[in-house]
Amino acid sequence: MRILITAGPTREYLDDVRFLSNASSGLMGYAVAEAAVSAGHEVFLVSGPVNIPPPKGCELHAVETTDQMRTACLGLFERCDGVIAAAAVCDYKPRNRVSGKIAKTGEPITFEMIETDDVLAELGATKGARWVLGFALEAENPRENALQKLRAKNCDWIVLNSPTAIGAETNEVQLIDASGHSTCTLAGSKRDVARDLIRWIEQNISGR
pLDDT digits (tens, 9 = 90+) for 82-123: 999 999 999 999 999 999 999 999 999 999 999 999 999 999
Q: What is the mean pLDDT of residues 140-156?
A: 91
Whether residue 179 is contained in a domain is answered as yes
Give per-residue pLDDT as tens, 33-80: 999 999 999 999 999 999 999 999 999 999 999 999 999 999 999 999
pLDDT at residue 25, rounded to an integer: 93
Is 51 an active-site residue? no
User: CA 80 → CA 52, 69, 199, 206, distances in Å?
Assistant: 25, 16, 18, 16
Question: The domain that contains 78 carries what CATH number?
Answer: 3.40.50.10300
The number of distinct structural domains making up the chain is 1
Whether residue 29 is contained in a domain is answered as yes
For residues 83 and 7, the answer to whether their CB atoms sit within 8 Å is: no
Whether residue 49 is contained in a domain is answered as yes
CA angle 25, 124, 140 (to 5 degrees): 55
Whether residue 84 is contained in a domain is answered as yes
Mean per-residue pLDDT of the chain: 93
Whether residue 25 is contained in a domain is answered as yes
Q: What is the mean pLDDT of residues 2-21?
A: 96
pLDDT at residue 206, rounded to an integer: 60
pLDDT at residue 208, rounded to an integer: 52
| Residue 179 structural domain | 2-98+109-207
Q: Which of 22, 145, 154, 204 does the annotation list as catalytic? A: 22
Whether residue 43 is contained in a domain is answered as yes
Whether residue 104 is contained in a domain is answered as no
Whether residue 103 is contained in a domain is answered as no
Cα 50 to chain center, whole Å? 13
